[in-house]
Amino acid sequence: MNFITRKSIPRRTLLKGMGASLALPLLDAMIPAATAAVKTSANNLRRLGYIFMPMGCDQSRWTPESENTLEKLSPILDSLKPVKDKLTVFTNMELRPAYPGSHATSNSSFLSAAKAKVTESTDYYLGTTADQVAAKQIGQQTQLPSLELAMDLLQTVGQCDNGYACVYQNNLSWSSPTTPLPAEAHPRLVFENLFGEGGTPQERRAALRKRASLLDSIAEEMKRLQLGLGAGDRARVSEYLDSIREVERRIQKAETDTKDKPLPDLERPMGVPALYADHARLMFDLQLLAFQGDITRVTTFQIARETSNRSYPEIGVSDPHHPLSHHGDNPAKIARMAKINAFHVSLFAEYLQKLQNTPEGNGSLLDNVLLLYGSGIGNPNVHDHTNLPIIVAGGAAGGMKGNRHLRYAKPTPLANLHLTLLDKVGVRIDSFGDSNGKIKGLFETLSI
């Protein structure tokens, strides 16, 4: 393969080896001399990510203390301090299509802003989710139009919640009203999907057994590429490869640990890290690598499942999450639920800091992605879909101001935010779900 031209390396350059196909991060050598880096990073790399937090939160510990800015972050959001200049927190957004109120509709309406058909059978019907609306436009130029991830095994079928089929809370993404997209919770399978050359699962496994690392089979091509790069690009590629090696090492360690010390867990797939935090960090790191290599521009991630009975002993919470969310206004239970909320947010904060510390173009990877983090439930004790916990992060390349708390006087459709974010990455539609307009003032007058 001829990597270097007098103008630039193609953005879609792939290094191919036995069973491996490695996309590269954005390099200076990929930017023609006459093209400004800011234009390349802002115009060509539109990205959207959605992180779903189940079962609402303790709103008293979530809502920022300060008005308009994030000068005083709340206890649950405190871990976001290092990146608060890249955040906007919303208060008083709602998901009216999720009523009459359930865990199933919290999950299903979060990205669709659509009303789920009440059924326990296979005649389910919802709506196309925002991530898939985006994938159909901005995802067609990448290896994967979208990437759907989760933390839990989602194999339950039949009726799961008040007459709603399990499909509604198992699947966050829907490519059509009748087509849910299953999410992957196993880091190894995600890794192979991102960096494997293709083929059947059996063929990919056979290729894996022939090498100690995915990167082994592209070593020679990588050496040839490095010879033609400047010092800055060589350092950037080296850091990217080190990140891939580290993620692969952690996956291999988790698989070895599971083999040596099998721990039955109804919600944790075999071969993943025993600790929830280690598993979540791996899944976040895989999203970062997918964005960095421009393997996909649209991701969704269920950080936990609605009605999950997972406990969190690593932070001192032995109670299952779902029963805690139905706290009956018991202060001790609310405090333990808030601890889980803060734990989830802290993992998101780590992800944001990694994106912030990853250079790209004339800024960071965080500047060139828009991330929505939140839940489809406000107060879980009553299955309320009003006053949702919602954060938008990143987007500086598109003019998002950050360090702001936007509080609405009356409930505002979450669909308005979906419509606004879609518009910002170049997906022009007149309405989405129950939207009644776009969010004003979220972005400065600055075109992507």
- Predicted local distance difference test score (pLDDT) of residue 219: 79
On whether the pTM is more than 0.85, the answer is yes
Dist CA 138 CA 422 (whole Å): 10
- Predicted local distance difference test score (pLDDT) of residue 372: 98
Share of the chain above pLDDT 90, in %: 63
Query: Who wins on pLDDT, 42 or 337?
Result: 337
CB 101 within 8 A of CB 383: yes
Checking if the pLDDT of 3 tops 80, the result is no
Best CA proximity match to 182, nearest among 166, 160, 158: 166
Q: pLDDT (tens digit, 9 = 90+) per residue, 89-101? A: 999 999 999 999 8
- Predicted local distance difference test score (pLDDT) of residue 223: 82
Checking if the pLDDT of 68 tops 70, the result is yes
Helix (H) or strand (E) holding 48: strand 48-52
Best CA proximity match to 149, nearest among 276, 275, 286: 286
Dist CA 265 CA 253 (whole Å): 18
Q: Which domain holds residue 87?
A: 16-424
Q: Is residue 195 part of a domain?
A: yes
The per-residue pLDDT of the chain, averaged, comes to: 87
Torsion of CA 190, 109, 424, 145, to 10 degrees: 30
Helix (H) or strand (E) holding 406: strand 404-413
- Predicted local distance difference test score (pLDDT) of residue 423: 94
pLDDT band at 5 (very low <50, low <70, confident <90, very high): very low
Distance of CA 47 to the CA centre of its chain: 11
Query: Who wins on pLDDT, 84 or 161?
Result: 84
Structural domain total, the chain = 1
Q: Is residue 401 part of a domain?
A: yes
Distance of CA 109 to the CA centre of its chain: 17
Tokens 């985006």, residue? 134
- Predicted local distance difference test score (pLDDT) of residue 431: 97
Q: Is residue 446 part of a domain?
A: no
Q: pLDDT (tens digit, 9 = 90+) per residue, 399-422? A: 898 999 999 999 999 999 999 999
Checking if the pLDDT of 173 tops 60, the result is yes
Q: Is residue 245 part of a domain?
A: yes
Dist CA 191 CA 158 (whole Å): 30
- Predicted local distance difference test score (pLDDT) of residue 232: 87
Best CA proximity match to 21, nearest among 164, 156, 142, 141: 142
Dist CA 292 CA 243 (whole Å): 11
pLDDT band at 210 (very low <50, low <70, confident <90, very high): low
Checking if the pLDDT of 361 tops 80, the result is yes
- Predicted local distance difference test score (pLDDT) of residue 19: 67
pLDDT band at 155 (very low <50, low <70, confident <90, very high): low
Q: Averaged over 307-313, what is the pLDDT?
A: 94
Q: Is residue 429 part of a domain?
A: no
CB 300 within 8 A of CB 149: yes
Checking if the pLDDT of 434 tops 90, the result is yes
N-to-C CA span, the chain: 33
Q: Averaged over 201-215, what is the pLDDT?
A: 62
Q: Phi/psi at 173 (nearest 5 deg)?
A: -105, 140
Q: Is residue 144 part of a domain?
A: yes
Dist CA 99 CA 384 (whole Å): 8
- Predicted local distance difference test score (pLDDT) of residue 202: 63
Q: Does a cis peptide bond (omega within 30 degrees of 0) precede residue 100?
A: yes
Dist CA 339 CA 364 (whole Å): 30
pLDDT band at 261 (very low <50, low <70, confident <90, very high): low
Q: Is residue 443 part of a domain?
A: no
C-beta contacts of 260-266 below 8 A and 24+ residues apart = 266/153
User: Treating both helix axes as pointing N-terminal to C-terminal, what angle do 331-356 and 276-292 enclose, rounded to 10 degrees?
Assistant: 30
Which DSSP category does 425 fall into?
T
Q: Is residue 435 part of a domain?
A: no
